Amino acid sequence: MARPIPAWLAPTSLEEALELRARYGEEAIVVAGGTFVGILINQGLLQPAALLALRRVRELAYLRVEDANAAGRPLLRIGAMTTHRALERSPLVQRGWPVLASTFALVASPRVRNQATVGGVLADADYASDPPALLHALGASVVARSPQGQRLIPVEELIVGHYETSLRPDELLTEIQVPGGLEGAVYRKFRSRSSEDRPCVAVAAVRREGRLRIAVGAVAERPQYFPEICALAAGQPTIEPELAREIGERYAAAIDPLSDARGSAHYRRRVIAVEVRRALEDLNRIIAARGGSQSHA
Amino acid sequence: MAAMEIHFTLNGQPVTVQAEPDEMLLEVLRRELGLRSVRETCGLGICGACTALLNGQPISTCILLAPLAEGCEITTVEGLGGRHPVQRAFEEVQAFQCGYCTPGMILTIKALLEEQPEPDEETIRRALGGNLCRCGCYLKIIQAAQRAAALLAEERQRQPQPGPASIS
C-alpha cells in the first residue's frame, strides 16, 4: 500500500511561516528541532499531510535581554528556535538566569539538546519534559503570533493537558519571555532510572519579591502549582524546617500523581513531599549565599 | 508529493540525495550514500548508535528529518580517515568489544575535545551519557577519551596552532 508522502514546507521568513500556518492549520505539523516529531513518525504515531519546518526562519533564533522595566525587572527574550544547547551555553543566560542554563543542561543528552528547541519543548507540552515546570515557576510567558497579530500567554495557561496547548491552529509560538528579578531559584530533577532519563518528579521553586512559587513537573498532565500553599511562606526570608516539611506534605496531598514506568502514583506522592521540602532547603541556602540559583541532578 | 532533493556536505564533499520529507537522515545516509557507521537501534534518540556531527555538533540521525540537513555539514566516522587521534586512541586502549557503538562514541568524543581539549573525567562521563555500550566497555571508552585528549595535545605541540579549534 502506498504511503502518503507529506508536503515539506520550509519558509525562510516569519511572515511566510505565519501565512503557511494559517493556510494549513492542523493539517501541517510544525517542526522546530524535530526530535519529538521524529520519534512519533518512527513509532508510526504520526502521518502528517504536511510538515512545516521553521529551521530556515533565522529570525526566530536569538537570545536578548531587555533592561529593567517599570517593575524593575529585566526580561530575557528567547527566540522559539533557540536550541537547548544555545541556551545552556549562553553567557547572557548563565549570568542572569543561571537556573535556566543549568536546567536545560539536564535535558536528555547533548545530541538531543543540539536539536531540540525552547519553543518546541513548550509547544509539545509533554508532561515528562524538564523545562515546562521551571518556566512555569519562573513566571515565563510565550508570544503566540498569527497573521492577525500576537498575544502573550503565561506558560501556566499555555499547557492545558497531555500534549495539549492553548495555541490556536493559526498561531505559532515565536518567543519565550522570562522575567528576572529573582531572589533565588532551584530546579530539582529526581530520576528513578538512568541519568539521561526524564524526571520521575521535578520540582522548580522560585522566590521573587518575597513571593514563593513552586511548580512540580512530570507527575501529572501539566505542571502543578498551588498558590495558596505557596502563600504560607509569604514574607518569610527563610523558610523554617517545619514549614518546608508542611509545604512538601501539602503539595503531595494536593497532587493526584500519574503512574508510569518511572514510578507509581503512590511512590510519586512520597517523593513529591520529600523533593519539595528539599527544594525549599536548597532555596534557603541559595538565598543565604546571596540570591544565586542552581539545579540539582 | 514525490520525493525531494536534499543537498548537504558529507565528510567534506557536496552531495545531493533523494528522500521523502518524513524520512530520517539515518535512513538516507545508509540507503542513498551507503554509510554503515550510522546504525539504528532505539529510534528514539537515546542510544547514540546513529550519531553524526551536524555542523560539528553531535546529533541523533534517527530522529533528524532528512530535509533538516539541507545546507548543513554532516560528518560521519568514515570522514575521519581512520588515523584520527580519537580513532588511534580507541585502537590503543582497545575501547570496544563488538564495535557497534564505537562510531557514535568516537564522534561524540571528537566534538567534546574540540570544545574542551582537557576535560576531566566527570565531563567526559557527562558528554558520553547519551551513548550506550551494551558490551559495557565504558571504563575503556573513558580511558580512550583521555588518551585521545593527550594525542591531540601532542599534535598541537608539534604544529603551533593556527587559532582556536574550529567548531565546524
Give the distance from residue B125's alpha carbon to the nearest chain A alpha carbon, in angstroms: 11
**A289 located within any domain:** yes
- Under DSSP, the state recorded for A181 is -
pLDDT at A68: 75
Give the distance from residue B158's alpha carbon to the nearest chain A alpha carbon, in angstroms: 31
Degrees, nearest 5: CA angle A263-A269-A270? 95
Residues A151 and A77 in one domain: yes
Mean pLDDT, residues B17-23 taken together: 96
Listed by start position, the domains of chain B span: 4-79, 81-158
Residues A37 and A101 in one domain: no
pLDDT at A297: 47
Cell numbers given for A87:
541556551
pTM, whole model, 2 decimals?
A: 0.93
The DSSP element (H or E) to which A224 belongs, if any, is strand A224-225
Residue B144 has pLDDT above 50, yes or no: yes
Chain A residues with CB inside 8 Å of B67's CB?
8, 10, 51, 53
Burial of A40 (0-12, 13-18, 19+ CB in 10 A): middle
Residue-wise pLDDT tens digits, B69-121:
999 999 999 999 999 999 999 999 999 999 999 999 999 999 999 999 999 99
Chain A residues with CB inside 8 Å of B63's CB?
34-35, 38-39, 42, 115
Longest alpha-carbon distance in chain B: 54
Q: B81-158 has which CATH code?
A: 1.10.150.120
B4-79 domain in CATH 3.40.50.300?
no
Residue-wise pLDDT tens digits, B30-41:
999 999 999 999
Domain boundary, last residue among A179, A199, A232: A179
Burial of A50 (0-12, 13-18, 19+ CB in 10 A): middle
Residues A279 and A196 in one domain: yes
Grade residue A55 by pLDDT with cuts at 50, 70 and 90. Answer: very high
Into how many domains does chain A fold? 3
Decide: helix, strand or coil at residue B134: coil
Cβ–Cβ gap A31/B65 under 8 Å: yes
3-state SS track over A112-153: HHHHCEHHHHHHHCCCCCCHHHHHHHCCCEEEEEECCEEEEE
Residue A196 has pLDDT above 90, yes or no: no
Check if the beta carbon of residue A64 is closer than 8 Å to that of residue A178.
Answer: no
Cell numbers given for A217:
513537573
Domain of residue A252: give its range. 184-296
Mean pLDDT, residues A188-202 taken together: 94
Residue-wise pLDDT tens digits, A232-283:
999 888 999 999 999 999 999 999 999 999 999 999 999 999 999 999 999 9
Check if the beta carbon of residue B130 is closer than 8 Å to that of residue B137.
Answer: no
Residues A68 and A112 in one domain: yes
Cell numbers given for A73:
525587572
